[in-house]
Amino acid sequence: MSALTNRSVSEWQPVIGLEIHVELKTRTKMFCRCETSFGLEPNVRTCPVCLAHPGTLPVPNAQAIEWTIKLGLALGCKVSGRALFARKNYFYQDLPKGYQISQYEAPLCIGGRLVVPGPEGASEIRINRAHLEEDAAKTIHVGGVEGRIVGAEHSLVDFNRGGTPLMEIVSEPDIHSSEEAKRFLRLLRQTVVELGISDAEMEKGTLRCDANISVRPAGSNELRTRCELKNMNSFNFIGRGIEAEIARQIAVYESGDEILQETYDFDAASGTLTAHRSKEEAEDYRYFPEPDLVPYEPSAELVERLEAELAELPGSRIERLTSELGYELALDLVTSGRDALYSRLVAAGAEPKAAANVLMNQLAAAGVDPDAVNPNELAKLIEARSSIPTAVFNEGVGASGSSSFAAIDFISQSAISDAGELEPLIDRILAANPSQVEQFRGGKEGLLGFFVGQVMKETQGKADAKVVSELLRAKLNG
């Protein structure tokens, strides 16, 4: 597949839709009062309801419903006036009821969009639906490689996760590259995290993503047979998995074959795709409305209240900051949670690009909590950065999270720019390095950096580099 030329790849357009599952961080499960958990001893958070004992009845979690509506509103979805829960029937050991309570017809949220900023402008990805369901329990395969079923001796089931509220967000197939898929997913994750409804961590499995992928001749509008990529547990794997599947499909078409609708696992270690079953269709699940739950009719007041609670969303903040900082820096600021401090620094008079760079470099390296910083004081320090030694500036940024931080304490340690103080030192250094002086005068001007470095070393980084350079040039050329 790696033999494919760029020319053949450019003749095909990938068509990608994503299905994202987000575990909500409610205190209790979706239909019972067991507390949700992560990483506990197996099977300590269970009850007759989530273990599906006969005669038990589900009671929906109001918080989970509100949070799903809230995300739907953030995505510009229409909130259903009469939402239904449905039974999705299938058999697996991690699903004791033999069905999952999910939504099929009449999900909570329908039809929205996410505007995804990118390096070449924003793209709009339509959202088909956002609905609510319960998570299955967790199967652990013992003896297989990396807990996989292949080669396993037996399997164990941990029901702690069974019944955790799970939100499913389905995009339309509007995504056309692995990079765009990753950008969409990152932005959706940031939105979910900022709404405070999930930790959405891929490595913990609280954010999971499947991709439906097909390719078509560039310029055509047809939708060809798609394959589903499952079980991708990092942003990096998602990108690589999608790339591998696109290359596989192009190779199949170019050899004259047809694509079969199948589900694939991407093995990140070997970079290979394994087909594991042909994909089920909706009719295989024999959906029907859940008879134990009445239809849910959200009140207009609830929807209005949730809408009013939405602050400016990360996508629109990234777009706004992209115009002044460029996409990468804007994305970094927003996804690191430092953009609010950035705006306060600029309002306090800091130069925008300098402020953004300090936040993403020195402040990040020092591990300072952006919410603890007094923006007026840090703005003063940033504005004075060129006249104070680098070491002192970094020290100041590192201290900016403390309540007693005052920029003046660091600005007052200004760089040594007094020629009267620097000249004797420079003379001494030139006298100690006669061969370098000779080489410089012979045309090796790059040695200026060597002399500046010597002066910095002697002054512990406190000399004004610009003044030192000027003095050195004057002496060496004189």
Shortest distance, position 48 Cβ to Zn ion, whole Å? 7
Burial state string for 63-100 with b = 16 or more CB within 10 A and e = fewer than 16: bbbbbbbbbbbbbebebbeebbbbbbeeeeebbbbebb
| Torsion sign, CA atoms 431, 433, 434, 436 | negative
Nearer to Zn ion, 47 or 152 (CB): 47
Report, in Å, the least distance between residue 60 CB and Zn ion: 13
Which residue, 60 or 370, is less far from Zn ion as judged by CB? 60
Q: Which is nearer to Zn ion, 32 or 321 (CB)?
A: 32
Q: Nearer to Zn ion by C-beta: 50 or 359?
A: 50
Structure tokens at 381: 């320090």
Rounded Cα–Cα distance for residues 396 and 357 (Å):
15
Decide if residue 310 touches Zn ion (CB under 5 A).
no
Instruction: Report 193-212 residues binding Zn ion (CB under 5 A).
Output: none
Residue 211, beta-bridge partner list: 18, 229
The answer to the question of residue 268 lying near Zn ion (CB under 5 A) is no
Q: Would you say 42 or 298 has its CB closer to Zn ion?
A: 42
Binding residue count for Zn ion, defined by CB under 5 A: 5
Q: Across the beta sheet with 165-171, what order do the strands follow?
A: 78-79, 109-116, 123-134, 165-171, 12-23, 207-217, 227-232, 262-267, 272-278
Q: Which is nearer to Zn ion, 50 or 379 (CB)?
A: 50
Cβ burial, residue 7 (10 Å; 0-12/13-18/19+): exposed
What is the pattern of x (binds Zn ion, CB under 5 A) and - over residues 7-46? Answer: -------------------------x-x------------
Closest approach of Zn ion to the CB of residue 51, in Å = 7
Closer of 34 and 75 to Zn ion (Cβ): 34
Alpha helices in 196-260 (DSSP H): 235-254
Backbone region of residue 468 per phi and psi (left: phi > 0; alpha: psi in -120 to 50; beta: other values): alpha
- Taking the CA atoms of 242, 247, 252 and 256 in sequence, report the sign of the dihedral they define: positive
Examine residue 47 and tell whether it contacts Zn ion (CB under 5 A).
yes
Show contacts of 418-421: CB within 8 Å, 24+ apart.
Answer: 419/467, 419/471
For the bound state, the minimum distance from the C-beta of residue 165 to Zn ion, rounded and expressed in Å, comes to: 12
Closest CB to Zn ion among residues 49, 422: 49
Q: Which class for 328: exposed (0-12), middle (13-18), buried (19 or more C-beta within 10 A)?
A: exposed
Q: Which stretch binds Zn ion (CB under 5 A): 50-58, 130-138, 306-314, 428-436?
A: 50-58
Give Cα 119 distance to the centre of its chain.
16
Return the amino acid letter for 308.
Answer: A
Q: Which C-beta is closer to Zn ion: that of 50 or that of 65?
A: 50
Query: What is the pattern of x (binds Zn ion, CB under 5 A) and - over residues 221-250?
Result: ------------------------------
Footprint on residues 56-85 left by Zn ion (CB under 5 A): none
What distance lies between CA 138 and its chain's CA centroid? 24
- The distance of closest approach from Cβ of residue 50 to Zn ion in the complex, given in angstroms and rounded to an integer, is 3
For the bound state, the minimum distance from the C-beta of residue 58 to Zn ion, rounded and expressed in Å, comes to: 10
| Residue 153 beta carbon to Zn ion: minimum distance, rounded to whole angstroms | 29
Query: In the bound complex, what is the minimum distance in angstroms from residue 151's beta carbon to Zn ion?
Result: 33
Among 16, 50, 188, 313, binds Zn ion (CB under 5 A): 50
User: Given the rule CB under 5 A, which of 49-57, 319-327, 366-374, 421-429 is the region that contacts Zn ion?
Assistant: 49-57
Q: Which residues bind Zn ion (CB under 5 A)?
A: 32, 34, 47, 49-50
